[in-house]
Amino acid sequence: MYRHPLHETADSYTDDIEQKQTALSYLNEAWAEARHDGVDGDCLAQASLFAAFAELVTTYGEDAVAKFSEGLPERVRKGEFTLITTRQ
């Protein structure tokens, strides 16, 4: 059953966050294994982006994904995808 995002419950929001964290954990493991096997990080990134966009297009359609993509440059510039590392 479709539920409008404004009608999400706290439980469904928590479930969504947990599912995204689980998915990210799987991706991090696969990424680490590929790097261990000698796959270049840039190749992994490009293949990952292709796979992600292909899935989004399959799910939401080309127009919706194109609209979503329009906001990416600003999100990158704001540091949303920058991993912060601390040096000791």
Q: What is the pLDDT of residues 55-84, one digit of tens each?
A: 999 999 999 999 999 999 999 999 998 988
In terms of Cα–Cα distance, which of 6, 9, 44, 2 is closest to 27? 44
Both 46 and 35 in one domain: the answer is no
Angle of the 10-36 helix axis to the 41-60 helix axis, nearest 10: 140
- The whole-number average pLDDT for the span 47-54 is 96
pLDDT (0 to 100) of residue 88: 62
Domain shared by 50 and 82, yes or no? yes
Q: Give the model's pLDDT for residue 2.
A: 46
In this prediction the pTM is: 0.71
| H-assigned helices in 1-88 | 10-36, 41-60, 62-70, 72-77
- Quick one: pLDDT at residue 73? 96
pLDDT of residue 7: 57
39 — phi, psi (to 5°)?
A: -75, 130
- Assess whether 19 and 45 both reside in one domain: no
Range of the domain at 82: 41-88
